[in-house]
Homo-oligomer: A and B are copies of this chain.
Amino acid sequence: MIDHFASHENGLHPASEKSACPVCAALDSLVHGELSSGSSPLLWPGRLPPQRDQQAARPRQTIFQPGETLDGMQIVCDGWAARVSRLTDGRRQILSFVLPGDLVSTRALFAGSLNFYLEAITAVRYASYRRAEFIAKLAAEPNLIKALIRINLAEKDEADRLAADLGRRRAEERLARLFLQLMARLEIRGLVRDQSFALPLRQQHIADATGLTPVHVNRVIGALRGDGLIELAHGVLKVANLAQLRRLADLN
Contact = CB atoms under 8 A, between A and B. Distances in A.
Interface of A: 1-6, 8-12, 21-23, 27, 30-32, 35, 37, 71, 85, 87-89, 91-93, 95, 107, 110-112, 115-116, 131-133, 135-136, 138-139, 142, 145, 149, 152-153, 155-157, 159-164, 166-169, 210-211, 250
A174 to B, nearest CB: 9
Given A12-B131, A167-B211, 8 more contacts: A1-B22, A11-B133, A31-B112, A85-B163, A95-B164, A159-B160, A159-B162, A166-B167
Given A115-B157, A156-B156, A5 B138 contact: yes
A116 to B, nearest CB: 7
B115 A160 contact: yes
B132 A11 contact: yes
Contacts of A10: 132
30 contacts: A2-B4, A2-B23, A5-B136, A5-B139, A6-B139, A11-B133, A12-B131, A12-B132, A30-B111, A31-B110, A37-B115, A85-B161, A85-B163, A85-B164, A87-B168, A87-B169, A87-B250, A91-B168, A93-B164, A95-B164, A107-B153, A110-B149, A110-B152, A110-B153, A115-B157, A115-B160, A156-B159, A159-B159, A159-B160, A166-B166
